[in-house]
């Protein structure tokens, strides 16, 4: 019974970690796309870039 409980806890922790890693990958890709857009349009102020990333 104890082994089943530990396995279940490990599975939940693993699932959470995979979800967080996936979220970080998505955020990294979004930041890369925004940086490419900023580079293509020319010189952009850091304030504008930060606002576009944050979504304000």
Give the chain's domain count.
1
* 1-5, 16-20, 29-33, 38-42: segment of lowest average pLDDT: 38-42
Mean pLDDT, range 31-46, rounded to an integer: 79
Q: Is the pTM of this model over 0.85?
A: no
**The predicted structure's pLDDT at residue 44:** 65
**The predicted structure's pLDDT at residue 11:** 96
Q: How far, rounded to the nearest angstrom, does the alpha carbon of residue 49 sit from its chain's CA centroid?
A: 17
The residue range of the domain holding 31 is 2-54
Task: List pLDDT tens digits, range 13-32.
Answer: 999 999 999 999 999 999 99
**The predicted structure's pLDDT at residue 52:** 81
Distance CA 23, CA 21 (A): 5
The torsion region of residue 55 among left (phi > 0), alpha (psi -120 to 50) and beta comes to left
For residue 56, pLDDT beyond 80? no
């Amino acid at each position: 019974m104890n082994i089943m409980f530990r396995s279940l806890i490990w599975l939940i922790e693993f699932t959470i970690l995979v979800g967080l890693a996936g979220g970080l990958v998505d955020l990294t890709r979004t930041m890369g796309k925004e940086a490419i857009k900023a580079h293509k349009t020319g010189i952009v102020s850091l304030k504008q870039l930060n606002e576009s990333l944050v979504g304000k």
